């Protein structure tokens, strides 16, 4: 089926080097599954791509054990070909975002259900020895040589075993990539300058969007969630960096829709009009956890403090 044209702000056939003020900077996002790159930080990714940053997404697993969350895609032929379909969805999202992307090559661990939870499947990503998975990421870091790396916090953003393992692998690889004694056969050492964690849904953001919906006379999708929310002010205070990227929410949405098995176009992802999102919370938020450079906090840029790269 022909794909609709992609609206990628900042990209035109007449681009010149002067139109790309961030040319030479490199940014790596490390994610657990295909679709995570589009649901976490995709608007800031699109902003940086439009400014000339070379953005590389590493996807740790193929998402083989993920659920089909879009009712329109919950069909036998989809389940029979889920591995290939999720791979195709990732390639489409990659092209929409204008990024390069690599698979780390591990198998989805799945979401364990039950009480007690069953053991994880043998050979899945969460059970692979850390040294093995970290070495693969170190190899990609040394090849791509990013100035900035992002991933999930120690809780994984949410407690999926692959998200938690993604955090562990990224932290280990970030520490090892610049050390010539670590994984000496994985390429020339390269030390990224900054490591960030995604902070996608703080209480402040969720509540602000909730209040904005009510102020417009609209039903909020977050009412029940906020009623049950056990607030952790210290956790929200960990955010150090808010990247203005509201102009790129449309690109984010197109990338999300590319993951048709995972994203229901009639579901919660699109319950809040984009204009309300842009006016209410036009940033994507991060926590700076490691840095070899000085920058003033709070930041509004993942590259704050990093000198302009040499041509």
Question: What is the model's pLDDT at position 6?
Answer: 40
pLDDT at residue 16 greater than cutoff 70:
no
Span 241-254, mean pLDDT? 98
The pair of structure tokens assigned to 215 is 């102020």
Span 267-276, mean pLDDT? 94
pLDDT digits (tens, 9 = 90+) for 151-182: 999 999 989 999 999 999 999 999 999 999 99
The pair of structure tokens assigned to 295 is 């920058």
Statement: 26-201+234-291 belongs to CATH 3.40.47.10: no
Span 34-62, mean pLDDT? 97
Q: Which uninterrupted H or E stretch holds 241?
A: strand 241-244
pLDDT digits (tens, 9 = 90+) for 193-227: 999 999 999 999 999 999 999 999 999 999 999 99
pLDDT digits (tens, 9 = 90+) for 253-263: 999 999 999 99
pTM, two decimal places: 0.92
Q: Are 278 and 246 in contact (CB under 8 A)?
A: yes
Q: Which uninterrupted H or E stretch holds 199?
A: strand 194-199
Going from the C-alpha of 116 to that of each of 119, 147, 192, the distances in angstroms are 9, 42, 40
Cβ-proximal residues to 6 (8 Å cutoff; 6+ apart), any chain: 95, 96, 254
Q: Which uninterrupted H or E stretch holds 243?
A: strand 241-244
Question: What is the model's pLDDT at position 19?
Answer: 79
Q: Tell me which residue has tokens 């952790």.
A: 232
pLDDT at residue 286 greater than cutoff 70:
yes
Per-residue DSSP letter, 59: E
13 falls in which pLDDT band (50, 70, 90)? very low
Q: How far apart are CA 252 and CA 41, in angstroms?
A: 8
Q: Are 241 and 194 in contact (CB under 8 A)?
A: no
pLDDT at residue 8 greater than cutoff 70:
no
Report the DSSP beta bridge partners of residue 36: none
pLDDT digits (tens, 9 = 90+) for 100-136: 999 999 999 999 988 888 999 999 999 999 999 999 9
Positive or negative CA dihedral for 168, 172, 173, 174? positive
36 is in an annotated binding site: yes
Q: Are 66 and 262 in contact (CB under 8 A)?
A: yes
- Cβ neighbour number for residue 91 with a 10 Å cutoff: 13
Please tell me whether residue 57 adopts helix, strand or coil conformation.
Answer: strand
163 is in an annotated binding site: yes
Span 2-25, mean pLDDT? 57
Q: Where are the domains of the chain?
A: 26-201+234-291
pLDDT at residue 45 greater than cutoff 50:
yes
């Amino acid at each position: 089926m022909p794909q609709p044209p992609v609206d990628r702000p900042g990209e035109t056939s007449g681009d010149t080097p002067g139109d790309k003020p961030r040319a030479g900077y490199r940014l790596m996002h490390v994610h657990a599954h295909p679709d995570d790159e589009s649901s976490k930080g995709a608007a800031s990714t699109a902003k940086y791509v439009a400014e000339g940053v070379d953005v590389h997404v590493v996807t740790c697993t193929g998402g083989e054990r993920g659920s089909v969350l879009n009712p329109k895609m919950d069909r036998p032929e989809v389940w029979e070909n889920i591995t290939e379909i999720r791979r195709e969805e990732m390639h489409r999202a990659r092209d929409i975002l204008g990024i390069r992307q690599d698979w780390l090559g591990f198998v989805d661990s799945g979401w364990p259900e039950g009480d007690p939870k069953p053991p994880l499947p043998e050979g899945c990503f969460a059970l692979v020895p850390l040294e093995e998975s970290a070495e693969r990421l170190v190899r990609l870091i040394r090849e791509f040589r990013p100035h900035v790396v992002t991933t999930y916090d120690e809780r994984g953003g949410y407690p999926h075993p692959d998200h938690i393992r993604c955090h562990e692998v990224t932290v280990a690889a970030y520490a090892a990539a610049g050390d010539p004694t670590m994984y000496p056969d994985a390429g020339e050492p390269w030390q990224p300058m900054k490591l960030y964690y995604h902070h996608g849904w703080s209480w402040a953001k969720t509540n602000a969007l909730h209040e904005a919906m009510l102020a417009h006379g609209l039903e909020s999708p977050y009412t029940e969630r906020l009623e049950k929310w056990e607030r952790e002010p210290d956790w929200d205070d960990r955010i150090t960096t808010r990247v203005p990227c509201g102009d790129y929410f449309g690109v984010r949405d197109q990338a999300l829709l590319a993951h048709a098995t995972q994203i229901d176009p009639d579901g919660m992802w699109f319950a809040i009009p984009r204009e309300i999102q842009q006016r209410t919370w036009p940033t994507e938020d991060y926590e700076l956890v490691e840095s070899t450079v000085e920058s003033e906090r709070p930041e509004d840029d993942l590259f704050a403090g990093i000198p302009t790269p040499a041509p």
